[in-house]
Amino acid sequence: MTRGRADGVQKKRLITFLCVVAIILGIVYFYDGSSFGSQVHNGASSLRKLGSSYLGGDDNSDSDSKDEATFKFGLEDGEDGMVPRSYPVCDDRHSELIPCLDRNLIYQLRLKLDLSLMEHYERHCPPPERRFNCLIPPPTGYKVPIKWPRSRDEVWKANIPHNFLAKEKQDQNWMTEKGEKIIFPGGGTHFHYGAGKYIASLANMLNFSNDNLNNGGRIRTVLDVGCGVASFGAYLLSSDIIAMSVAPNDVHQNQIQFALERGIPAYLGVLGTKRLPYPSRSFELAHCSRCRIDWLQRDGILLLELDRLLRPGGYFAYSSPEAYAQDEEDLRIWREMSALVERMCWKIAAKQNQTVIWVKPMTNDCYMEREPGTQPPLCRSDDDPDAVYGVKMEACITPYSDQTQRTRGSGLAPWPSRLTSPPPRLTDFGHSIDMFEKDTFRIWYRRYGKEGLRITGIS
């Protein structure tokens, strides 16, 4: 009996102790949580105030101290100066803010941009005092994105609150609304019956086996200019081709949002005054389907930018009325465009119905054989074709390096052998094949051991 009573007393003491601990922890959690919540709330309030100023609203400032708190939200003093303390959430109005592509900011700063050159669609980053330091909130009703490969064909409507394109391009099968989802049938302005059939037709025009644009792994990287919702790039993935889809944030609203939500590589950009952010000879094929670009402007500077980006023997697939229409204006554009690409040493690889495919030369031979004074000229010897960030386009032809001239092409192995085969272009940067192989061996062995070497075929 005594032993039973003692056990009962011990159990009561243990329960009492646990209750006391729980109460103490609750008090601590409540106190710290309130402090943290207060910080976040204050930070968010400051951010909303800053956001109002950024968008041209009323500052509604009460004191200099509040203004300084607004500017330094989320920061505190540390041993090495100012360090991040917390990141508040931006105002809901900024759920689609793109800081360096914000037209509201462009209007407020009164930047003198040439609209005819698409400068207003290029990157213009805000000055330090107008920058945000907060987390962009998702749109109302946001859902976890649908996983690939289903996302190629459908996404949640709430994640991209735009329905303009669904109504404007419904007859062209770009996209349609269906309940809570947006459906992508795979169509485009030029290929109403699906990107898959259109891609196969391009391969057929080039006499590639099995109507596969991959061409045995020789075409791996593609640049799709004026991509719409990127269905062309989406359907290339099944052919083991990676396309970078490019479009501006224009009257079609944010097309690139749809592409990224679908899981397709894409970015907001425009062929304007600056080079696209890729080094020379990055792509095997460039594509433009009804992209509404004036390729003749400024001495063909935009076509010359594509020329810089294409590898030796690279293709430019162009589907547009100029390629087939018979009215006076389209014929004029076709004649002038044909003359320009001929001076650039491009040749027609195939032409069928509404599409023409040009091919870039493999060497510098054609450039050297042109008559003196032929336009466009070759770029200066001191021009770096791989310098891209903030670099202005030049209306000139980028000649190949001595190594490419000797190789008579890019010398790249077909994909997937290209993954571990040293590219001949390494010599342009002072690297040897031996350095490449040693570096590849070291990285794969360190990360994956002997199994990694076996998978990649490294001996």
333-363 pLDDT, tens digit per residue, is 999 999 999 999 999 999 998 899 999 999 9
How high is the pLDDT of residue 273? Answer: 95
How high is the pLDDT of residue 109? Answer: 81
Is residue 410 within 8 A of residue 423, CB to CB? The reply is yes
Is residue 333 within 8 A of residue 296, CB to CB? The reply is yes
- For residue 332 the two structure tokens come to 């004029």
How high is the pLDDT of residue 81? Answer: 61
**Fold that domain 190-414 belongs to in CATH:** Rossmann fold (3.40.50)
Each residue of 243-254: pLDDT tens digit? Answer: 999 988 776 567
How high is the pLDDT of residue 455? Answer: 60
Tell me the average pLDDT of the chain: 81
This prediction's pTM: 0.78
CA-angle at 103, arms to 97 and 108, nearest 5°:
110
Percent of the chain residues past pLDDT 70, beyond the cut: 75
Rounded Cα gap, residues 208 and 257, in angstroms: 33
Q: Where are the domains of the chain?
A: 17-137, 190-414, 420-459
Average pLDDT over residues 15-33: 59
For the chain, report the end-to-end CA distance as a whole number of angstroms: 78
Each residue of 422-448: pLDDT tens digit? Answer: 888 888 888 888 888 888 777 777 777
Give the Cβ contact number of residue 27 at 10 Å.
10
Classify burial at 211, counting beta carbons within 10 Å of its beta carbon; exposed 0-12, middle 13-18, buried 19 or more: middle
Q: Which residue has the higher pLDDT, 41 or 302?
A: 302
Percent of the chain residues past pLDDT 90, beyond the cut: 43
CA-angle at 269, arms to 268 and 273, nearest 5°:
160
Each residue of 110-150: pLDDT tens digit? Answer: 888 888 898 888 988 999 988 888 898 988 899 999 999 99
Residues 6+ positions from 344 with CB-CB distance below 8 Å? 300, 303, 304, 307, 376, 397
The verdict on whether omega for the bond into residue 128 sits within 30 degrees of 0, i.e. cis, is no
How high is the pLDDT of residue 458? Answer: 57
How high is the pLDDT of residue 82? Answer: 65
